[in-house]
Amino acid sequence: MDLLGFLSIGFATALSWSNILVCFAGVFLGTVIGVLPGLGPTATVSLLLPLTFTMNPASAVILMAGIYYGSQYGGSLTSILVRIPGESASVVTCIDGYEMAKRGRAGAALGIAAFGSFIAGIVVTIALFFVGPVLARFALRFGPPEYAALVLLGLLLVTQVSQTSCLNSLIMACLGLLLSTVGVDRIHGDQRFTFGLIGLFNGFNVAVLCMGLFAIAELLTSAEGRENTPKPVAQPRRLREMLPNREEWRRSTLPITRGTALGFLLGILPGGGATIASFAAYVMERRISKHPERFGQGAIEGVAGPESANNAAAQASFIPLLSLGIPANAVLAVVLASLLVQGVLPGPTLMTKSPDLFFGVIISMLVGNVILVVLNVPLISVFVLLLRVPISILSPLIIVFCVIGAYSLDNSSADVLMMVGLGLAGYLMRKVDLDPAPLVLAFVLGQIFETALQQSLLVGRGSLGVFLDRPIAAFLIGCSVCLIVFQAGGAILARARAAAGRGSRNESQPMRRFSRPPP
Amino acid sequence: MTVQSTRLGRLCSLGLLWAVGILAIAMALRLGLWRSGSPGPGLFPFLAALAIVVLATIGMMAAALRRWPAAPAETIHARGRWRIALYVVALIAYALLLEPLGFHAATTLALLVISRAAERLRWRTVVPLIAGTLFFTHLVFARWLGVYFPAGTLWGDLLG
Amino acid sequence: MWRRVILSLLGLCVLWATGVAAQGYPTKPIQMIVAFPAGGNTDLMARALAPGLGKELGQPIVIVNKGGVGGVVGSTDLARSRPDGYTIMLSPNSPLTILPHQQKLTYTLDSFRFVCLTYDNPFVLAAGPQAPFKTFAEFVTFAKAKPNNVAYASGGPGSMPHLLFLDIFRQIGAEGVHIPFTGAGPQVQAILGGTVQVMIDSPATVSSNNLPLLAVFAAKRLASMPNVPTMQELGLDLKAFSAGGLIVPAGTPDAVVATLDRACVKATESEGYLGTLAKLKAAARHLPADRFRELFVEDSARNYETIRRAGMLPKP
């Protein structure tokens, strides 16, 4: 069968009434759980797993896919409005999204997140249709050494996600790396830093980390300073004024394009994932930008890039799942289980054996993205109303949602306790101007890095030569070396220039998070 | 506004991280840095902790040598301090009581402390807030999404 | 007014609770712990069983996933819960017969009462598409050609596949390189990409990519793959399974266990259960409490021996 035939099968499946309905249900539910802080897509698809046993396999995957990318969509909402990331992929959206909201551009941030995700979704769907399976084969050449090299590159970018001083970011990143080693060692099986407590055997869950360090910490900070917090800047009342204006669109076009490409490439790699894609997109925009100083002060590029990237990655990750049977994360592992129960074996033959499933799912993403944008954009004016709810009523509600979310991960109150502990730690960190964003990124990367590095050494039978023998790994290592040289050289140059100019500048500038910017 | 703008605050925070780093180094050394020709379980945490200690040392030295502007006036309201203490107590109690008391009772308790004691909302706001939250979470999470809410282990012992 | 509401609610609770105590088991929904995340193999086995079991008992079975550390978290939870039959667990052998030998845990096999075995999953030894061997004999020759010639994947140190590989290499007189991964997905990726040459997993996992299958760990050949020889046929003394069943905390009354077992027999024979397991290429198998316990005790002793030989016992 040729591509045209596949295309028509895909459309026939995705555009059947029942599947449009299922797709709608999926993206709607995804948006809802994305909007509610706490409950993430993993918990939701797990809970819906039994339901899919009785559905037809294509509809089951369409539903779960809808929940997954719908939640990436909805997740930007709480990040932008209340600085609460529901999961690690939306942590970076908080940085500039929340600043935009504080400056009265909440609607624009939400709008660009929605449109950016939409554009990314459409482009990625088309790309997946044509080159997805081919690229998935290529992704198999990513063994442990390649992952280790890729993640090393990511770790070098870690200081770029924060507005605080380089030293502070580095300390936070190292703390993130240290936290990522808590729990039972994946290679040796030793218990590390568990103190014999069974709740720590698993280590920290990244969702617990995000909810604690951001959501709970935010609530505690605002509880303390309520008397000092000035009235928020008024948001425009009409939807048209809320949406991104022409200037904002112009600034977002390229970030959306780049974010989409980056998300697509990282999403195809099994285990690459939406988190790394969103962080990488943010850092890339900041590096490329002619005005890097605007980042952290409400730069729309810092919302457009990451939001496009995480949506692109979420959708692209379905390709390794369907064409190789490799789930990229916990959400997709549940989707795989649902397929297995139905007696469908994902793999290279799936495309020809059940083209209705394979292409139906891809085409349904087009449908889903259209539904999402139609559903979400008019609702922006409603969402922005959330900013008018008094924080004294909002914060108890957010606490309940976060507790439900943390508990539902493993049905364990240890996770809830950890979230509270991390919330307290996050509150103290803010008081001393330490930013948790590098910590979260280093935590996510650290877990992959250590395991991949150890596996590489085992693959290379103990020799580091394994990194140089493999072309992709060697290339990535080369990139890291260049980056270090470039950064160090740039810093030295800048310092020399500054010294020659007007004397040395004060290195650490405390960031005033809760003070208003001058009007 | 932040504590960092005082020398003492900066030194204390970095000192705490320094101590965490030293503790982690000690524990990592006990895990073993090298095992049968390849990195042991302690190597990675050792390196991370070592970096924390080195960076914190640099930071503390810089803070000690730097000139600090005069400390800004304390801006935290007394009521803010009281409120944050109540929040922390309520959160810890919520986490600890979630399984013994069950979701509904623990949520009611936590919301009572937070909304009534900490936020000083009126009863006529507090009661609908709690009732609404319980109803909404029950409907959306327990009913529609099928989330498992702990029912409470204490009630059985108490009553049965 | 508020106090009155609370008091009346409390009163209602008391009334309800006394009503519960008066009737026979089961009178309220039963919580079934699965010590692994949703979508995992054990979880699917539990979800296949739950509807039938619930129907027989006349009460819904609520599956509660308490994942973590190969089942330790959920098992510890079960051992601590009230032995009244309202908290049960569907557990495979590994958390009970392997992990207590490797980690210091608060439970042993004796912390539980065994109700009935419900499934018996075979393991399959599969080779990668690029591996220079397609049969078990070729694998043995390749492995013996030089030490550490073969890299093998497992789901982590001390996991069942890891112990099995240790035993295989000991019996054929060779050495291999163990590369641990987290979960089945990364292992499949590694074997397709050529990072490892062999892996051991359930038939459903290894059959998705048409991997060459070298051997199956089962008493006789599987109906779904009749060309794959068993380990016994190949002359190796390896007994391994990933079987599981219902267990309850020690101290659960006999009457409750008997009720559960009666329901379990019917549920494991039901059409829905058998159909789901067939799709997952897993085998339903019912064993009564004593034989179920025997099977696990035997497995535990065997695993202890392998773990001791590999020097993986916990430091005192």
Residue A232 domain flag = no
Residue C60 domain flag = yes
The whole-number pLDDT of residue B71 equals 63
pLDDT at C16 over 70: no
* Interface contacts A/B by beta carbons within 8 Å: 195
Residue C201 domain flag = yes
Burial group, residue A93, by CB count within 10 angstroms (0-12, 13-18, 19+): buried
Please judge whether C280 and A340 are an interchain contact, meaning their C-beta atoms are less than 8 angstroms apart.
yes
Range of the domain at A101: 3-225+244-469
Query: Residue C18: its chain B contacts at CB < 8 A?
Result: 159
Answer with the residue of higher pLDDT: B53 or B118.
B53
The whole-number pLDDT of residue C157 equals 85
Please judge whether B115 and A407 are an interchain contact, meaning their C-beta atoms are less than 8 angstroms apart.
no
Q: Do C304 and C173 share a structural domain?
A: no
Closest residue to B1, CB basis, from A167, A417, A514: A514
Find the residue in B nearest to A515 (Cα).
B1
User: Number of folded domains in chain A?
Assistant: 1
Q: Do C105 and C43 share a structural domain?
A: yes
Residue C273 domain flag = yes
Answer with the residue of higher pLDDT: B109 or A141.
B109
Please judge whether C68 and A270 are an interchain contact, meaning their C-beta atoms are less than 8 angstroms apart.
no
Residue A36 domain flag = yes
Residue A239 domain flag = no
Q: Do C139 and C92 share a structural domain?
A: no
Closest residue to A167, CB basis, from B5, B55, B141: B55
Please judge whether C189 and A326 are an interchain contact, meaning their C-beta atoms are less than 8 angstroms apart.
yes
Residue C101 domain flag = yes
Find the residue in A nearest to B42 (Cα).
A192
Q: Do C189 and C138 share a structural domain?
A: yes
A338 lies within 8 A of chain C by CB: yes
Q: Do C139 and C82 share a structural domain?
A: no
Residue C184 domain flag = yes
Residue A126 domain flag = yes
pLDDT at C232 over 70: yes
Q: Which of residues 196-225 of A touch C (CB under 8 A)?
A: 196, 198-199, 201-202
Closest residue to B98, CB basis, from A223, A416, A432: A416
Pairing relationship of beta strands C61-65 and C123-127 according to DSSP bridges = unpaired
Q: Do C132 and C91 share a structural domain?
A: no
Tokens of C312: 């993986």
Structure confidence by residue, pLDDT tens digits, A217-233: 989 988 887 766 666 67
Residue A231 domain flag = no
What whole-number distance in Å separates Cα of residue B34 and Cα of residue B15?
Answer: 29
Q: Is there a contact between C89 and C63 (Cβ–Cβ < 8 Å)?
A: no
Alpha helix segments (H runs only) across B32-77: 43-65
Q: Do C138 and C61 share a structural domain?
A: no
Query: Residue B137: its chain A contacts at CB < 8 A?
Result: 400, 404
Range of the domain at C139: 123-217
Peptide bond connecting C29 to the previous residue in cis, omega within 30 degrees of 0: no
Query: Residue A508: its chain B contacts at CB < 8 A?
Result: 4
The whole-number pLDDT of residue C310 equals 85
Query: Residue B1: its chain A contacts at CB < 8 A?
Result: 510, 512, 514-515
pLDDT at C19 over 50: no
Find the residue in A nearest to B106 (Cα).
A400
Query: Residue B148: its chain A contacts at CB < 8 A?
Result: 408, 411
Structure confidence by residue, pLDDT tens digits, A259-293: 999 999 888 887 667 788 888 899 889 888 888 88
Residue A214 domain flag = yes
pLDDT > 70: percent of chain C: 92
B127 lies within 8 A of chain C by CB: yes
Mean of the per-residue pLDDT values of chain C: 87
Q: Do C183 and C156 share a structural domain?
A: yes
A409-432 mean pLDDT? 92
Residue A415 C-beta-side C-alpha neighbours within 13 Å: 25
Query: Residue B155: its chain C contacts at CB < 8 A?
Result: 13, 17
C52-68 mean pLDDT? 90
The whole-number pLDDT of residue A516 equals 38
Q: Do C137 and C181 share a structural domain?
A: yes
Q: Do C101 and C33 share a structural domain?
A: yes
Residue C102 to residues C35, C78, C165, C272, C316, Cα–Cα distance (Å): 18, 19, 17, 37, 11
Structure confidence by residue, pLDDT tens digits, A425-455: 999 998 888 889 899 889 988 888 998 998 9
Q: Tell me, what CATH number does C173's domain have? A: 3.40.190.10
Q: Is there a contact between A54 and A18 (Cβ–Cβ < 8 Å)?
A: no
Q: Which of A212, A215, A251, A221 is nearest to A105 (CA)?
A: A251
Q: Do C189 and C40 share a structural domain?
A: no
The whole-number pLDDT of residue A231 equals 66
Residue C52 domain flag = yes
Residue C168 domain flag = yes
Q: Mutate which of C12, C82, C177 to disrupt the B interface (most B C-beta within 10 Å)?
A: C82
DSSP per-residue string spanning A255-268: HHHHHHHHHHHHHH
C3 lies within 8 A of chain B by CB: no
Calculate how close chain C gets to A351, using CA atoms only, in Å: 13
Mean of the per-residue pLDDT values of chain A: 85
B92-116 mean pLDDT? 94
Residue C161 domain flag = yes
Chain centroid to Cα B50, Å, comes to 25
B41 lies within 8 A of chain A by CB: yes
B48 lies within 8 A of chain A by CB: yes
Residue A496 domain flag = no
Residue C312 to residues A163, B42, C299, C303, Cα–Cα distance (Å): 46, 17, 17, 11
User: Number of folded domains in chain C?
Assistant: 2
10 Å Cβ neighbour count for A87?
Answer: 26
Query: Residue C20: its chain B contacts at CB < 8 A?
Result: 160
